[in-house]
Amino acid sequence: MNYAPLSLSALLMLMSATASAQATSDEALERMRDMKTTGQSLDMATIPQTGSTADAIRKNLERVKLPDGFKIELYALVPNARHMAVGPSSGVVFVGTRKTDLWAVTDRDKDRVADEVKRFAPAISFTQPGPCFSPDGFLFVAEHNRVLVFPAAEFFYEGPDVAADIVVPSGGLIPKEEESYNHGARVCAIGPDNRLTVSLGQPYNVPPKEKMDLYNQHGIGGIVKMDRDGSKREVYATGVRNSVGLTYHPQTKELWFTDNQVDGMGDDIPPGEINHAPKAGMQFGMPWYGGGSIRTNEYAEETPPEGLTPPVVETTAHAADMGLTFYTGSMFPEQYRGGLFSAQRGSWNRTVPAGARLMFTPFAADGSGPSGETIPFAEGWLDDNTGEYYGRIVDVKQLKDGSLLVSDDTAGAIYRISYAGN
């Protein structure tokens, strides 16, 4: 498709007109326009990469256990680091948060340690930004209720005035009356069909019956797809409680995603999920199932419809499965190639905490599905004796050299896992 990229100041005027026409508003972008026209400084916040915080995190990494031959190191200090997108041309890593910041992480000398972490597009107040790149280098940012695109983010990220465009305007992903802090983070991916995929978590523990028609109509509690300009939107999948991890298999080109399941049913049920959605129209169990084959209390007396799709992998209950990626590099040993790495952030209300680790699922050579059980790959951020978290793992992405980046929103860091063994 063809974009007509706008500078941030031009984007502001367009967003303002769009907001008026559609009875929506974007106060953050309005403020940004005022800053531009009054000449107020748009200094870009930069995060120091040395000091006591970096030293303490490196010390905590000594707790992390990995298979023989692997090592983990601090790559960058990034406040509230969550989902990441690696620039296909430059390797600059764009890092979303649950707050209003989107960070750009640069390793200029390619020593596999970040030299600079700075605020991207500093005048925009994002809302839980989740970044993803298209293969041709367009940076998409899926927010709670808006999607923007930055066609040349890799090349102009170091200045405050970067070209931007609107994919979905404010209030366009979900009805504004359905906005909620609960399950409001969005993640995105560009599929092999060159279309944008966005997950839309629903804001309840279990969605009430009176919301079902509305949610199915908009894809809330599901996954939607659209063209890269926001047109031709479709509800791709339903029955998803809150997915914060999407990825496409590099060989089969099919969608895989994680899902966080129902709370309040006990420590050990229901399980978390890794799901496979090779086609549109699949329903993944909610609200009749709370996770796996476990029925929800709210819908226990109802007969589930036919054709529901169970998870391919059931994971530890309440471990909070999040970002995931298929390994396509050559650095790691053969048994990891083509397999799926997935992050578990860790439980928030489990009596005995679980998670805070990077998992690995081996896959068949043809990419059709798992060829073995899902096992821990990197763990130790959770102290099993005290239940204390030394980090909460959110996302995993691969660098061009075949190493992995792992984000930690609690420590405010990104780690790099590499292999140097025989």
* pLDDT tens column, 18-66: 343 333 335 544 444 443 433 435 678 999 999 999 999 999 999 999 9
Going by the DSSP 8-state scheme, the letter that residue 287 receives in this structure is T
In this prediction, residues 332-351 reach a mean pLDDT of 96
In this prediction, residues 121-135 reach a mean pLDDT of 95
- Determine the distance from the C-alpha atom of residue 78 to the mean position of all C-alpha atoms in its chain, rounded to a whole number: 15
Residue recorded with tokens 């941030």? 8
pLDDT band at 145 (very low <50, low <70, confident <90, very high): very high
The pLDDT value given to residue 36: 42
* CA separation for the pair 412, 395 (Å, rounded): 13
Among 160-164, 178-182, 406-410, name the most confident range: 406-410
The pLDDT value given to residue 42: 61
The pLDDT value given to residue 1: 43
What order of strands is seen across the sheet that includes strand 130-133? 130-133, 139-142, 147-150, 165-168
Both structure tokens of 40: 């107020």
The pLDDT value given to residue 422: 67
* CA separation for the pair 110, 115 (Å, rounded): 9
Length of the chain: 422
In this prediction, residues 315-319 reach a mean pLDDT of 97
List C-alpha distances in Å: 163 to 57, 85, 131: 35, 18, 16
Among residues 129, 105, 102, the alpha carbon closest in space to that of 116 is found at 105
Question: Is the distance from CB of 4 to CB of 14 less than 8 angstroms?
Answer: no
Residue recorded with tokens 């430059």? 90
Q: How far apart are the first and last CA of the chain?
A: 46
Residue 314 has pLDDT above 90, yes or no: yes
Q: Give the number of other Cβ atoms within 10 Å of residue 98's Cβ.
A: 18
Question: Is the distance from CB of 172 to CB of 21 less than 8 angstroms?
Answer: no
In this prediction, residues 396-402 reach a mean pLDDT of 98
Both structure tokens of 98: 């649950």
* CA separation for the pair 175, 312 (Å, rounded): 32
Angle at 341 between CA 335 and CA 345, to 5 degrees: 145
In this prediction, residues 225-252 reach a mean pLDDT of 98
- What structural domains does the chain harbor? 50-419 (2.120.10.30)
pTM recorded for the entire structure: 0.91
- Pairs from 54-61 (Cβ < 8 Å, separation ≥ 24): 57/411, 57/413, 60/381, 60/390, 60/391, 60/411, 61/415
239: left (phi over 0), alpha (psi -120 to 50) or beta: left
